[in-house]
Amino acid sequence: METQIGIEKERRKKGQSIQRITPFLWFDNQAEEAVNFYLSAFNNSGIKTTTRYSNEGAKASGMPANSVMTMSFQIEGQDFMAINGGPFFQITPTISFFVNCESVQEIDRLWGKLSQNGTVMMELGGYPFAEKYGWIQDKFGVSWQLILPGREQKIVPCFMFTGDQYKRAEEAINFYTSIFKDSGIIQLERYGKEVGPEGAVVHCKFTLNGQEFVAMDSHENMPMNFNPAISMVVNCETQDEIDFYWEKLTEGGFEGAQQCGWLQDKFGVSWQIVPNVLGELLSQPDKGGNVMQAMLQMKKLDIKTLQDALNN
C-alpha cells in the first residue's frame, strides 16, 4: 500500500495541493468499523494507510500490540484520520461535517445510510436556508449536516460554539484566520433581535490554508464543550512550521492538554501539530517503537529528535 509520504510526493509531481488541515476522529476501538462504514456510505473513498500499535505503543496506550492504531482515509476528496485510542473521549456535535450534496437522490441516499442506528438532530426536509437539509449523529457519534444544493468543497468541517465557549465563534474565526495563510471570511451572518442570541454568529463560511470551514454559535447554550475526540491535524513540512503553529495556537490555551504534538487552544478546540513524516517514522517495523517512545516524552514535536530515535 502506498505510504503517506509516497502519496504526498505523487501529489507534488501532479501539481496537486496537500491538505494542510486534516480532521482526526478518536474512537475507543471502533476505528476500523467506522472507517469501513464511511467508505460504504460515500463515493470516491478509500483507505490510504493503516498503522498498528508497536509493543511500546501498546504499553503506553493499553491497546493490544499489533492492533490497528490509526487509519488514514479519504471520502469525497476530504482526508480524515481515525484512531483506536481507548474510552477516554466521547465525540460530540460541537464539531460536525457539512456534506454538500448535488442532487435529491444523493442527499436521500446519504441520509438513509448515515442515519442507521443514529440520532436525528434536525429532520431531513426543506428549510428557509436550504432546498433540503438534515443533521444526523451517526451510530459512532460523528455528526453530519447534509445540505442541498452543494458547494465546490464536498465535505466541510463545522465548529459549533456552546457550553463554556458560547457566543465566541466570531472571536475564534478571527483568531484562526490570523494564523493560517490563504485564509479569510467568505460569508458571516449574525442573529438579530427577533431570533437567537443577538449579535452571535448564525453561520460563517471561512477558509484556512485555502480549505473551507464553517463556524456557528449554537442557537441555545447546550451543556457540551469541544474535546480531543475530534481534533484538527496541521501537517507541517519543517520544524519552523511546527514551531510557528504551536506558538500561535497555544496562546491562552490549556497547558495541561499539551502532549505528543496535541494541544487545546483557548476555545478548547484540539489541534495536532505534526511533521508530514511522522506516520512514516512510526510505521517502521524495527524502529517505529523508538520513535513512539521519543514522541511520548514531548509536548511540541521535534523532527530531528524523532529522526534520531529511528537511527538509534
Give the per-residue SS3 of 105-129. HHHHHHHHHHCCCCEEEEEEEEECC
Phi, psi of 274 (to 5 degrees): -135, 150
CA 260 to chain centre: 17
Position 110 confidence tier, pLDDT thresholds 50, 70, 90: very high
* Residue 55, domain CATH: 3.30.720.100
Do 155 and 73 sit in the same domain of this protein? no
Do 121 and 184 sit in the same domain of this protein? yes
pTM of the model: 0.90
Q: How far is CA 115 from CA 42, 92, 291, in A?
A: 13, 16, 40
pLDDT (tens digit, 9 = 90+) per residue, 123-169? 999 999 999 999 999 999 999 999 998 788 999 999 999 999 999 99
The grid cell for 62 is: 493499553
pLDDT (tens digit, 9 = 90+) per residue, 200-226? 999 999 999 999 999 999 988 888 999
Domain end point (choices 168, 200, 217): 217
Asked if residues 130 and 158 have their Cβ atoms less than 8 Å apart, the reply is no
Do 76 and 102 sit in the same domain of this protein? no
Whether residue 31 lies inside any domain: the answer is yes
Q: 39 lies in which domain range?
A: 21-85
Question: Mean pLDDT over residues 224-229, rounded?
Answer: 95
Number of independent structural domains in the chain: 2
Nearest CA to 159 out of 148, 150, 168, 149 is that of 168
Domain end point (choices 150, 184, 217): 217
- Rounded (10°) CA dihedral 64, 80, 311, 306: -100
Do 99 and 207 sit in the same domain of this protein? yes
Identity of the amino acid at 165:
Q
Do 66 and 158 sit in the same domain of this protein? no
